[in-house]
Amino acid sequence: MMSIVPLHEADDRFRYGGKAAGLSKAVRAGLPVPAGFAVSCDTVRMIAAEQPQPDALRLLTTRLATLRKPLAVRSSAADEDGAAASYAGLFKTVLNIMEASRVATAIRDVFVSASSESIAAYGAAHRPSVRMAAVVQEMADADISGVLFTRHPVTGEDVRLIEAGWGLGESVVAGRIVPDRCVFPRGDPLAVQAEPGSKETEVRTVSSGGTAEEQVAEDRKKQFCLNADRLRSLDDLASRSERIFGPGGLDIEWAFAGGMLFLLQCRPITV
């Protein structure tokens, strides 16, 4: 069944995937999520087909008129971001899309990424069937971004653990840099234990579309990304997210863009 809905309506994990369902819950609770919509698994297949279905493309074009460019297209598999298997970093993400006409191609690329050998092997180990939906959102052009664990991901200790870098989150999530690392007690970000990272590179948007990895200026490599205000904002986001998703431990991808904090993804911690 063809379906493209605003994120707040995308709560059906089987139809719209785990990432969309998580973002849907966050949007409905008032968390700061970039505006966007979810493309169902069936509709992704229609758009990604060798001969795309015209009705699906027309519906996509209509929905795109509700968003401001540039855009980001992210995977949202039915089994993604679950407690048993997260698929973190395995599916393709397409960032900084400047033209609406390129979104269908980006959705196709995300769909094709589900058939890679590494994903097949990961899926076999966790026994899912990969049904690929997609999330299309307004692009958060991040100045600082990273990941936030609401509990220690290894020890389970009741602390916040944050890893941060300059630019878009791909540098941190993909392990391209040694990020800044912060650990502090829940609700007390001023008691932070901070380890500055080297942060040799950052991923930035390009004016013509897409992204590029750039060298970080020497004076910023050792400069700490997160000041006290940003740490307080992240601690508050962690607390709000726990009230919505539960206290079991969350892995949150976040970004500061234009002075605002955005939640890009929220899933249970998996080891």
Q: Extract long-range pairs of 170-175: CB within 8 Å, 24+ residues apart.
A: 170/93, 170/95, 170/203, 170/211, 171/199, 171/201, 171/202, 171/203, 171/213, 172/145, 172/146, 172/147, 173/88, 173/89, 173/147, 173/253, 174/89
Residues 104 and 169 in one domain: no
Look-up of token digits 């709000």: 240
Of 111, 138, 165, the domain-final residue: 138
Question: What pLDDT is attached to residue 91?
Answer: 80
Q: Which helix (H) or strand (E) holds 72?
A: strand 71-77
Residues (pLDDT < 70) of the chain are 80-90, 116-129, 271
Q: Domain check: are 12 and 123 in the same one? A: yes
Residue with tokens 């007690």: 185
pLDDT for 123 equals 45
111 and 164 co-located in one domain = no
- Shared-domain flag, residues 261 and 173: yes
Quote the pLDDT of residue 85. Answer: 43
The CATH number covering residue 128 comes to 3.30.1490.20
Beta strands in 81-192 (DSSP E): 93-97, 132-138, 144-149, 159-166, 180-185
Q: Which two tokens stand for residue 58?
A: 């027309």
Regarding whether 8 and 133 lie in a shared domain, the answer is: yes
Same structural domain, 151 and 116: no
**Tokens 């502090």, residue?**
184
153 and 113 part of one domain: no
138, 165, 196 - which closes a domain = 138
Q: Among positive and negative, which fits the CA dihedral 133, 263, 266, 144?
A: positive
Do 104 and 63 share a structural domain? yes
Whole-angstrom CA distances from 81 to 71, 100, 250 are 22, 27, 10
Q: Which residues contact 218 (CB under 8 A, 6 or more apart)?
A: none
pLDDT of residue 160: 97
Structural domains in the chain (count): 2
Say yes or no: 80 and 174 in one domain. Answer: no
> How far is the CA of 158 from the CAs of 41, 49, 215, 249, in angstroms?
37, 47, 35, 9
CATH number of the domain encompassing residue 169: 3.30.470.20
CA count, 13 A, side-chain hemisphere, 228:
3
Element (H, E) at 64: helix 54-64
Picking from 69, 70, 11, the residue whose alpha carbon sits closest to that of residue 38 is: 11
DSSP-H helix ranges across 158-250: 170-173, 218-221, 228-245
Return d(Cα 79, Cα 9) in angstroms, integer. 18
Same domain for 115 and 150: no
CB 244 within 8 A of CB 237: no
* Structural domain ending residue among the three candidates 138, 154, 182: 138
For the full predicted model, state whether its pTM sits above 0.75: yes
Q: Which domain holds residue 245?
A: 144-268
Q: Any bridge partners for residue 212, and if so which?
A: 204
pLDDT for 92 equals 87
Instruction: Give CA–CA dist 87/80, Å, rounded.
Output: 6
> Same domain for 191 and 96?
no
Instruction: Mark whether 152 and 77 lie in a shared domain.
Output: no
For residue range 116-147, list pLDDT tens digits in order. Answer: 644 444 444 444 457 899 999 999 999 999 99
